[in-house]
Amino acid sequence: MTAEELFRSLTLESLSLTGLQAQLQPGVEVRNVECNAHVEFQLTPTLIEGSSPPQFALQIRLTCVGTPIRTAQRSKLFDLEIRAVAMYRQTGGEALNATDFAAHHAICARQLFPALSARAQGLLADLGLQNIRLPLDLPRQLSASADQGPVVLN
């Protein structure tokens, strides 16, 4: 099964936020500092046992850490973390198994990342960091291996 076949056979049933955290580092004035925003996006797939038709969950973690551009010291200016769970249900085709979903779950990232990136952008605005813009999409090529690490965006 290809990643595209997997994606066409699933529907996103829900996307629930399970944790939000954002903070400025104490004693550091961030609002007027030019900085890099290092973004990581991680997906962890699981099969929901006993579901019919098959249902799958993706545990999601999006993190963003800001560091200054113009200083030699890479001190952290701010950080945020969003945790979420996406539930997918199979809507057609042959019954999927956990191995297929684990092998190709990265295809779901293009659907999930924009929503979580927009929420992260809102958290940064709440901190007064409206000048920081996060990406709203992922790179065209994503690795589809089952043991992949996080997608890192700078």
pLDDT of residue 152: 54
Q: What is the pTM of this model?
A: 0.84
Q: Which residue has the higher pLDDT, 121 or 25?
A: 121
pLDDT of residue 154: 44
pLDDT tens track for 71-116: 666 688 899 999 999 999 999 888 888 899 999 999 999 899 999 9
pLDDT of residue 151: 55
Torsion angle of the four alpha carbons 118, 105, 4, 139, in this order, in degrees rounded to the nearest 10? 50
pLDDT of residue 145: 47
Q: Which CATH class is domain 3-133?
A: alpha beta
Question: What confidence category does residue 128 fall into, taking pLDDT thresholds of 50, 70 and 90?
Answer: confident
Task: Choose among 40, 45, 36: nearest CA to 151.
Answer: 40
pLDDT of residue 150: 57
pLDDT of residue 144: 45
Q: Domain limits of the chain?
A: 3-133
Widest Cα–Cα separation across the chain = 57
pLDDT tens track for 11-61: 999 999 999 999 988 877 777 778 888 999 999 999 898 888 889 999 999
